[in-house]
Chains A and B, each alone.
Chain A
Amino acid sequence: MPAKRTRQRRRVPAALLAPAVVGLAFLILPLAGLLARAPWTELPARLAEPAMLDALRLSLVTATLATALSLLFGVPIAWLLARGDFPGRSLLRALVTVPLVLPPVVGGVALLLVFGRSGLIGSWLHERFDVTIPFSTTAVVLAMTFVSMPFLIVAVEGALRGADVRFEEAAATLGAGRWTVFTRVTLPMIAPGVLAGAVLCWARALGEFGATITFAGNFPGRTQTMPLAVYLALQSDLEAAIVLSLILLAVSVAVLASLRERWTTVA
Chain B
Amino acid sequence: MRARPALALTAATALTALATLAACGGSGDDGAETATLTVFAAASLTEAFTEIGDRFEAEHDGVTVEFNFAASSDLAAQITEGAPADVFASADQKHMDKVIETGAAADPRPFALNQLVIAVPEGNPDGVTALPDLAGLDFAACAPEVPCGAAAQTAVDASGADLTPVTYEADVKSTLQKLTLGEVDAALVYRTDAIAAQDEVDAVEFPESATAVNTYPIAALADAPEPDLAAAFTAYVLGDDAWTVLETAGFQRP
Contact assessment for B183 and A116 in the assembled complex, using a CB-CB cutoff below 8 Å: yes
Closest to A224 in B: B168
Contacts A116-B182, A116-B183, A218-B143 given; indicate if A235 touches B71 (C-beta within 8 A): yes
Q: Are A118 and B73 in touch, CB under 8 angstroms?
A: no
Q: Which residues of A contact B168 (CB under 8 A)?
A: 217-220, 232
> Which of the residues A112, A234, A236 comes within 8 Å of B181, measured between beta carbons?
A112
Interface flag for B77 (CB, 8 Å): yes
> Which residue of B is nearest A133, CB measured?
B183
In A192-232, the 8 Å CB interface with B consists of 213-214, 217-220, 223, 231-232
Among B73, B165, B177, B181, which residue has its beta carbon within 8 angstroms of that of A235? B73
Q: Are B183 and A235 in contact (CB under 8 A)?
A: no
Kindly report which residue of chain A lies nearest to residue B178, judged by CB atoms: A217
B170 and A232 form a contact (CB under 8 A): yes
Q: Does B167 contact A (CB under 8 A)?
A: yes
B146 within 8 A of A: yes
Interface 0/1 of B158-187, CB less than 8 Å to A:
000000011111100010011001110000
Q: Are B181 and A217 in contact (CB under 8 A)?
A: no
B241 at the interface (CB under 8 A from A): no
Interface residue ranges of B61-79 to A (CB < 8 Å):
71, 73-74, 77
Chain B interface bracket (under 10, 10 to 19, 20 to 34, 35 or more) = 20 to 34
Closest chain A residue to B167 by CB distance? Answer: A217
Number of A residues near B (Cβ < 8 Å) is 23
A217 to B178 Cα, complex, angstroms: 9
- Contact check, B145 vs A118: say whether CB atoms are below 8 A apart: no
Interface core residue of A113, A117, A118, A132 (most chain B CB under 10 Å): A117
Once the chains bind, are A235 and B143 in contact (CB under 8 Å)? yes
**Is the pair A117, B170 in contact by a Cβ cutoff of 8 Å?**
no
Residues of A within 8 A of B177 (CB): 109
- Do A236 and B183 touch across chains, with their CB atoms under 8 A apart? no
> B183 near A231 (CB under 8 angstroms)?
no
For A116, give the chain B residue with the smallest CB separation.
B183
Would you give the 0/1 interface string for A7-32, flagging 1 where the beta carbon is closer than 8 Å to chain B? 00000000000000000000000000
Q: In the complex the two chains form, is A236's CB within 8 Å of B73's CB? A: yes
- Alpha-carbon separation in the docked complex, A118 to B73 (Å): 32
Q: Is the C-beta of B140 less than 8 angstroms from some C-beta in chain A? A: yes
Q: Which residues of A contact B183 (CB under 8 A)?
A: 112, 116-118, 134-135
A80 at interface, CB cutoff 8 A: no
Q: Which residues of B contact A116 (CB under 8 A)?
A: 181-183
Residue among A134, A218, A223, A234 with max Cβ neighbours from chain B (10 Å)? A218
CB-based contact A235/B74 at 8 Å: yes
Q: A residues 127-162 with Cβ under 8 Å of B?
A: 132, 134-135
Contacts of B181 in A (CB 8 A): 109, 112-113, 116, 118
Asked if B77 and A213 make an inter-chain contact with CB atoms under 8 angstroms apart, the answer reads: no
- Please report the C-alpha to C-alpha distance between residue A97 and residue B183 in the assembled complex, in whole angstroms: 27
Residue from B71, B73, B167 within 8 A of A223 (CB atoms): B167
Residues of B within 8 A of A217 (CB): 140, 166-169, 178
Give Cα distance in the complex from A31 to B182, angstroms.
40
Given contacts A112-B181, A134-B183, A235-B145, whether A218 and B170 have CB atoms under 8 Å apart is: yes
Q: Decide if A185 is an interface residue (CB 8 Å cutoff).
A: no
CB pair B182 A117 closer than 8 Å = yes
Q: Which residues of A contact B145 (CB under 8 A)?
A: 232-233, 235-236
- Bound-complex Cα distance A110 to B22 (A): 50
In the assembled complex, A249 has its CB within 8 A of some CB on chain B: no
Nearest B residue to A118, CB-CB: B182
Q: Which residues of A contact B169 (CB under 8 A)?
A: 213, 217-218
Extra pairs beyond A118-B182, A135-B183 (5, CB < 8 Å): A116-B181, A132-B138, A135-B167, A219-B168, A232-B168
Closest 5 CB pairs of A and B: A217-B167, A118-B182, A235-B145, A235-B73, A135-B166
Residue pairs across A and B with Cβ atoms less than 8 A apart, 9 shown, are: A109-B181, A213-B174, A217-B168, A217-B178, A218-B167, A232-B145, A232-B170, A234-B73, A235-B143
